[in-house]
């Protein structure tokens, strides 16, 4: 799996010592593989063959990762659920902080796979050694107005398969999300919401979803339970925590398209955007409401001055 030509890696070595650099479009990206500059993974890596691994996407501001302890905790859980030992968390922390510290704002992606296959086929030997890859991407260009005005979303035709054994994990198989994002009617929507095979609301392709129900004087915040499919997002976890601390009723439960249609407010969360209000859901227009605004205000200091946990 090549991450860039040998010539490109040598050209930039003087500008950022110790980092190999991968190509993403016209941008050269710093990459560490197992802690050192490298230009390729083993062609036998089980992450390449089977998606046998997990990953984290970490927003970094002022050279510091947001909620790094929570990301590493989720990654540790994901590796152990898949049946292999994760790299030491202190090693991962040092490598992420190393790349994050070289830029004011960036997105750092951490991928951990079971490692190169020692047997042909799906079976594992138990002697594999995990591979870790850390990549720094530039912070994407985004419209600041989206945080205030909200985004347009649609409901994807693609459904998420249900498998409680993998529910919550950010594993390396994202084919359902890729197909949902590629649907021909997706133009103009910032995100696509996804239902499970049985029709329950689960999440967006890259976000978790929250709805606000009830009268204005007694609102209830609800988010889909991630117990049969979907990713349990780090930002989702933080928003639930902050809501409870603020005295906002917050529940993880089964939600259906009817709940989405009846919601007074809808917002999305992920590691980069924090909270996105939903301003348009299909043909329906929504206003960012008081619960969304209050949570945005509560979250702002944690996002702008990155908290660790």
pLDDT cut 70: percent of the chain above it: 91
Are the C-beta atoms of 271 and 60 separated by less than 8 Å?
no
Give me the pLDDT at residue 112, please.
98
Cite the beta strand spans of the chain per DSSP E: 20-24, 27-33, 53-61, 64-65, 105-113, 131-138, 151-160, 191-196, 201-204, 208-213, 220-224, 249-253, 265-270, 274-281, 284-285
> CATH 3.30.470.10 region(s) of the chain?
6-138
Q: What is the mean pLDDT of residues 239-257?
A: 97
Nearest 5°: CA angle at 219, between 303 and 279? 60
Which tens digit of pLDDT belongs to each residue from 5-22? Answer: 333 333 333 345 445 556
Q: Mean pLDDT, the chain, as a whole number? A: 91
HEC string of 61-123 equals: ECCEECCHHHHHHHHHHHHHHHCCCCCCHHHHHHHHHHHHCCCCEEEEEEEEECCECCCCCCC
Topology, domain 145-303? D-amino Acid Aminotransferase; Chain A, domain 2 (3.20.10)
Q: What is the pLDDT of residue 204?
A: 98
Q: What is the pLDDT of residue 52?
A: 98
* Report for 23-27, 96-100, 184-188, 305-309: range of highest mean pLDDT: 96-100
Q: What mean pLDDT comes out for the span 219-238? A: 98
| Model pLDDT, residue 5 | 33
Domain covering 6-138 assigned CATH 3.30.470.10 in the classification: yes
Q: What is the pLDDT of residues 137-187, one digit of tens each?
A: 999 987 778 888 999 999 999 999 999 999 999 999 999 999 999 999 878
Average pLDDT rounded to a whole number, residues 226-245:
98
- Dihedral of the alpha carbons of 58, 25, 12, 130, in degrees to the nearest 10: 50
Within the chain, all domains assigned CATH 3.20.10.10 are found at 145-303
Q: Indicate whether this model's pTM tops 0.95.
A: no
Residue range 182-219, pLDDT digits in tens: 999 878 899 999 999 999 999 999 999 999 998 888 99
């Amino acid at each position: 799996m090549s991450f860039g030509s040998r010539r490109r890696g040598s050209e930039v070595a003087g500008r950022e010592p110790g980092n190999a650099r991968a190509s993403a479009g016209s941008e050269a990206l710093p990459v560490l593989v197992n802690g050192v500059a490298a230009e390729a993974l083993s062609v036998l890596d089980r992450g390449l063959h089977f998606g046998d691994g997990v990953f984290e996407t970490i927003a970094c501001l002022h050279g510091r990762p947001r909620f790094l302890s929570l990301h590493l905790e989720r990654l540790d859980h994901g590796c152990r659920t898949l049946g292999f030992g994760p790299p030491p968390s202190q090693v991962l922390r040092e490598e992420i902080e190393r790349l994050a510290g070289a830029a004011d704002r960036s997105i750092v992606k951490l991928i951990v796979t079971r490692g190169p296959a020692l047997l042909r086929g799906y079976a594992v030997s138990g002697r594999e050694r995990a591979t870790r890859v850390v990549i720094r991407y530039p912070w994407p260009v985004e419209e600041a107005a989206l945080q205030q005005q909200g985004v347009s979303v649609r409901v994807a035709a693609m459904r998420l398969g249900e498998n409680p054994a993998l529910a919550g994990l950010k594993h390396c198989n994202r084919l359902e999300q890729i197909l949902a994002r590629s649907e021909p009617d997706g133009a103009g929507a910032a995100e696509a919401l996804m239902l499970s095979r049985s029709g329950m609301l689960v999440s967006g392709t890259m976000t978790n979803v929250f709805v606000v129900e009830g009268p204005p004087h007694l609102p209830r915040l609800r988010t889909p339970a991630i117990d049969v499919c979907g990713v349990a997002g780090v930002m989702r976890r933080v928003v639930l925590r902050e809501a409870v601390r603020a005295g906002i009723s917050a529940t993880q439960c089964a939600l259906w398209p009817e709940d989405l249609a009846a919601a007074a407010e809808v917002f999305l969360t992920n590691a980069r955007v924090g909270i996105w209000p939903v301003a348009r859901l299909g043909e329906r227009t929504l206003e960012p409401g008081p619960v969304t605004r209050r949570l945005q205000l509560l979250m702002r200091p944690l996002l702008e001055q990155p908290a660790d946990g």
